Each structure stands twice: as C-alpha cells, then as structure tokens.
Chains A and B, each alone.
Chain A
Amino acid sequence: GQNIDQPTEMTATEGAIVQINCTYQTSGFNGLFWYQQHAGEAPTFLSYNVLDGLEEKGRFSSFLSRSKGYSYLLLKELQMKDSASYLCAVMDSNYQLIWGAGTKLIIKP
C-alpha cells in the first residue's frame, strides 16, 4: 500500500530552527511536495523536490533522498506566523498526490 508518515505535532521556539521529517512508500514517484496549512484555511504550496538534494527558498528549505524514501522541511528563524500544519505529499505513478496527515507546528515565544 501507499503510505506517507510525518510526526503529528512539533513544538519550537521563535527564532529557532525546526526540521519536519517525512518518509514515504508509494507506487511510483513523480516528486514530493510540501504545503503549509493554517488552521481553518486552504493548503498553500511551499516546495517541490524531484531530484535528490536540498532546495532552498528563503527561510524554508526542503531536502529529498529518493533512495531512502525520505524528505524534510527545514524552517529557519521561526516566526509566530509559522504556526501551522505542514503537509507532505508524494505524486505517484498516476500523477495523483498521496498526502500525509500533516505535522502541526506550534511556535512558542
């Protein structure tokens, strides 16, 4: 079966760095996406990785290792507005997204 695993909840301090991990087992792989979802709102696109390595975009970076079925999202210089859920999704061989349950990130002052 297809499976995406990520921690349910994480807590971090304002100004710090946090790494959110995602492991996956899917039928085929056409890239991995990270989305941010604030409570009561729609998911919004953060990053896309299809090749191994690190993609950096401002305070956010995303890493992929296809051989390990592993990705992480790295958030630097945390701000209170980063409190949200972070969703990991893998595009399978049918070009459909398989979603993890999301990681709720709580930022404390």
Chain B
Amino acid sequence: IAGITQAPTSQILAAGRRMTLRCTQDMRHNAMYWYRQDLGLGLRLIHYSNTAGTTGKGEVPDGYSVSRANTDDFPLTLASAVPSQTSVYFCASSDSGGPGDTQYFGPGTRLTVL
C-alpha cells in the first residue's frame, strides 16, 4: 500500500508558466487537502475537498485551483506561477474530514518559481 503519492518530487518553473502538482491516495479516504510549507511559518491550507465532486478554499487559495473528479486524485494547478509560490507543497488525506480526523501526508513537492 503506497498511501499518498505526489509528483513531481521537485520542479523548477519559469514565472508565468502553468503547472499541475499531482496527488493520488489509495486509502479510499473521502477528504483531501493541499498545504504549502514555508520556512518560519506553519503549514497553510490552500484548498480542500471533503468528498469527490466538492472542493473548498483554505487560508491561501489565490493563484491556485483544484479539482476532485474521483476519490483517489486531487491535482493542484498553478495557472500562472509567480516567485511567491516557491514553496514545499504537501498533499494530505483523511477518512472523513470530520472532528478528530487524522490527516496523513504525502512526501511533498518542492517547487521553485524563477
């Protein structure tokens, strides 16, 4: 069982380019999340999905979009990358997204926007 996989592992991207970060889980979890992690800051929620077909905005959604066509996949798209989007991006999933639900994290994607 792989758990959660993310691709690519790392990427250097020119500003203005479009980029999709991929996330797949095989735990049949209903809820999925995208976070960014920057030095000196806590993890910040970008977007989330409580079930296939629904998505919601987190704390820092601007410049990002997501889709949830099925249970397993939750891609994150940067329509036109900017240097401030340089960060480590983590995808996570949890069983239901409800109270006390533990989130499990993928290995992360390190993105550099030049």
Contact = CB atoms under 8 A, between A and B. Distances in A.
A45 B42 CA distance: 15
Nearest to B3: A42
B61 interface: no
B48 interface: yes
Contact of A87 (B42, B58, B97, B99): B42
B43 interface: yes
Given A4-B42, A42-B108, A101-B42, A48 B48 contact: no
Interface stretch (A12-20, A76-84, A89-97): A89-97
A7 interface: no
A27 interface: no
A96 B59 CA distance: 10
A95 B101 contact: yes
B105 A42 contact: yes
Interface string B82-114: 000000001000000111111111111000000
Nearest to A44: B105
A42 B105 CA distance: 6
B68 interface: no
Contact of A45 (B48, B90, B102, B107): B102
A72 to B, nearest CB: 18
A99 B43 contact: yes
B40 interface: yes
Contact of B40 (A98, A99, A101): A101
A86 interface: no
Nearest to A29: B99
B48 A96 contact: yes
Interface of A: 4, 30-31, 33, 41-45, 48, 50, 87, 89, 91, 95-102
Nearest 3 CB-CB pairings of A with B: A99-B42, A42-B105, A99-B43
